[in-house]
Structures are given as structure tokens and as C-alpha cells.
């Protein structure tokens, strides 16, 4: 306040912005210190696939490959983080751009959290878009890895078996209850993720 001749509120807002960017850490009584390890963070935008393809001025299409209502199995592994038990809607489908395969997805929807999904027809509408508008989430976790396409996947995507694909796994929760788990697979040459980072105050 003395150095810049401004009010405490103004200094507070500025420092709060620095803290939210991870540049400083604030501790009561101890004061505000420059953060030790400047962890590199970036804001990642995971786009809606339909919107992404529309932006490339190509025709988007979703094709449902399988649909099943079943209890959540313990051996579902990663999917089990969704809910301890209960019925789920398991879907697999393909995203097409201009008639060509663009990506595959395998999804589990928790029917306890999103019961309306049970009677929904996902043969042409992508479940991701529907969920986005009808079962909003409050928390999400993403895992991004590179995997080799398995035989079936490779055939459906029109790539060589073992071809490098970007795999995005996403778990979403609403108020602590699992909503959906999705595993998406994109051929490496057809999709990439871009993340930007600029600290606050940068113009």
C-alpha cells in the first residue's frame, strides 16, 4: 500500500490473482511468499467433438455401436471410480467427420445420477452432447495417454493396427456422485490438444 499508494483491497486483489496463478503462496500470520516450485500449469480446453468438427466445416455424425444396461462390474477397473454399485448404461460409438471415422468412444453413464439417460435414444445423438446439456457436472478428471490401436479399433478408425492414438479418459461427478466415464480414442494425426497459459495481468 505504501509503495504503490493504493488501498489494501487493491493490493489484495492483485496478490489474490498472483496466488491463483500459483506464483505466490499465502499463509496467515506468516505472510505471502514467492511459490517455491513454479509448477507448470496450463488451461486445457477439451472441445465438444461436434463443435470441433463443425469448426472445420465438415459434417459431424455419431454412430452408435453398442448399447447395454447392466450393473457396474467390479472388474470395470477405472470405471469403478464412478459409483460403488448400481446400474449403468454402457455405450460404444463412433464420431464421424465428413463420413470418415474421427474417433471412438466407450462410455458408462451412471443411471442413479442421470436416470433420464435410460430412455434416451443415442443412435444418432452423441451421448456426450446430450449429457453436457442434461446432466451438468461439477468436477471432472481427465487422463491423457498415447495408446496403440487394437485390431477392432484400428479397423473402425481406418488406421493401421498398433497405430498411435490419443486416448482421453474423463470422469465427471456432480456433487460427489459419479455421472459418467468416457474413454475416447483419436488417431494421432487427426486430433491434438492445445493448452495455453498466460498469468493474470498479461495483456
Residues in the site for DNA, rule: CB under 7 A? 5-10, 12-13, 15-16, 19, 26-32
Closest separation between CB of residue 28 and DNA, Å?
4
- Residue 183: in which H helix or E strand, if any? strand 177-187
Q: How many residues does the chain have?
A: 203
Figure out which of the listed residues 140, 150, 152, 158 binds a copy of itself, where binding follows CB under 8 A: 140
Whole-number Å distance between alpha carbons of 21 and 17: 6
Q: Select the residue interacting with a copy of itself from 47, 86, 115, 158 (CB under 8 A).
A: 47
Q: Which does 158 bind (CB under 5 to 8 A by kind): a copy of itself, DNA, none?
A: none
CB burial of residue 80 (10 Å; 0-12, 13-18, 19+)? middle
Q: Which of residues 78-107 bind a copy of itself (CB under 8 A)?
A: none
DSSP state of 73: P
> Quick one: 57 exposed, middle or buried, by C-beta within 10 A (0-12, 13-18, 19+)?
exposed
Instruction: Kindly state whether residue 46 participates in binding a copy of itself, applying the rule CB under 8 A.
Output: yes
Binding residues for a copy of itself, rule: CB under 8 A, are: 37-48, 51, 132, 136, 138-148, 162-167, 186-188, 191-199, 202
Amino acid at each position: 500500500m505504501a509503495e504503490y499508494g493504493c488501498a489494501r483491497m487493491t493490493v489484495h486483489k492483485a496478490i489474490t490473482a498472483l496466488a491463483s496463478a500459483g506464483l505466490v503462496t499465502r499463509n496467515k500470520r506468516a505472510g505471502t511468499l514467492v511459490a517455491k516450485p513454479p509448477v507448470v500449469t496450463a488451461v486445457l480446453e477439451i472441445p465438444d467433438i461436434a463443435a470441433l468438427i463443425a469448426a472445420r466445416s465438415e459434417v459431424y455424425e455419431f454412430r452408435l455401436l453398442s448399447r447395454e444396461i447392466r450393473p457396474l462390474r467390479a472388474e470395470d477397473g477405472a470405471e469403478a471410480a464412478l459409483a460403488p454399485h448400481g446400474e449403468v448404461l454402457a455405450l460404444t460409438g463412433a464420431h464421424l467427420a465428413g463420413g470418415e471415422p474421427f474417433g471412438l468412444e466407450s462410455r458408462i453413464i451412471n443411471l442413479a445420477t442421470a436416470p433420464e439417460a435410460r430412455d434416451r435414444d443415442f443412435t444418432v445423438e452423441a451421448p456426450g452432447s446430450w449429457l453436457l446439456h442434461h446432466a451438468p457436472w461439477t468436477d471432472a478428471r481427465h487422463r491423457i495417454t498415447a495408446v496403440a490401436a487394437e485390431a477392432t479399433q484400428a479397423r473402425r478408425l481406418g488406421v493401421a493396427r498398433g497405430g498411435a492414438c490419443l486416448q482421453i479418459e474423463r470422469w465427471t461427478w456432480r456433487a460427489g456422485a459419479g455421472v459418467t466415464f468416457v474413454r475416447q480414442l483419436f488417431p494421432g494425426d487427426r486430433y491434438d490438444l492445445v493448452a495455453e497459459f498466460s498469468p493474470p495481468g498479461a495483456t
